[in-house]
């Protein structure tokens, strides 16, 4: 994971307009980065990260661009499951109106959605 300083100039330099993808936000504690939040953007990753930079709650970010919304969702799910220390309390939601399911778990909610599709 490549960490970058979460500020406007860095985001503008590293993330192209209209990219989609997933990201981690974090801090630097006792000599290493610690993931505090994971998220994704299905339409404009740059703007999403710029909003986080303006809030000033986190100091660093790492990101992954993807070609499709489902890849962004799967990456966010992977990050969520791999970083139990993140402040995210709820599992990532699938993109609206798309019947995607987390490849890392089959929660009750996902099972109910799956049954509606079948």
Q: Is 105 domain-assigned? A: no
Q: Where in the chain does DSSP place strands (E)?
A: 4-5, 20-29, 32-41, 60-66
pLDDT at 100: 84
User: Tens of pLDDT along 68-96?
Assistant: 999 999 999 999 988 876 678 888 888 88
> pLDDT higher for 118 or 46?
46
DSSP character at residue 91: P
What is the average pLDDT value for the chain, to the nearest integer?
86
User: Tens of pLDDT along 35-73?
Assistant: 899 999 999 999 999 999 999 999 999 999 999 999 999
User: What is the three-class DSSP state of 102?
Assistant: coil
Q: How confident is the model at residue 110 (pLDDT cuts 50, 70, 90)?
A: low
Q: How many residues are listed for the chain in this entry? A: 118
Domain membership of residue 81 as a residue range: 4-89
> pLDDT higher for 7 or 27?
7
The CATH number of whichever domain residue 84 belongs to comes to 3.40.1440.10
Q: Is 97 domain-assigned? A: no
Q: Is 115 domain-assigned? A: no
User: What is the three-class DSSP state of 112?
Assistant: helix
pLDDT at 113: 60
Count: domains in the chain: 1
Asked whether the predicted pLDDT for residue 118 surpasses 60, the reply is no
In sequence order, the β-bridge partners of residue 28 are: 33
Nearest to 25 by CA among 64, 61, 73, 63: 61
Cα dist. 7→20, 25, 40, 81, 105 in Å?
A: 19, 12, 18, 26, 34
Name residues whose C-beta falls within 8 Å of residue 36's C-beta, 6 or more positions apart in sequence.
25, 26, 27, 58, 85, 86, 87
Q: Is 113 domain-assigned? A: no
């Amino acid at each position: 994971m490549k960490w970058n300083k979460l500020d406007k100039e860095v985001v503008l330099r590293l993330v192209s307009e209209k990219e989609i993808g997933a990201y981690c936000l974090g801090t630097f504690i006792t000599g290493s980065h610690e993931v505090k939040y994971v998220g994704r953007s299905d339409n404009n990753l740059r703007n999403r990260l710029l909003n986080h930079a303006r809030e000033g709650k986190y100091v660093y970010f790492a990101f992954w661009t993807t070609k499709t919304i489902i890849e962004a969702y799967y990456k966010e799910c992977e990050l969520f499951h791999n970083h139990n220390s993140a402040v995210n309390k709820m599992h990532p939601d699938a993109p609206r109106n798309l019947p995607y399911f987390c490849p890392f778990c089959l929660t009750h909610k996902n099972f109910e959605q799956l049954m509606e599709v079948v």
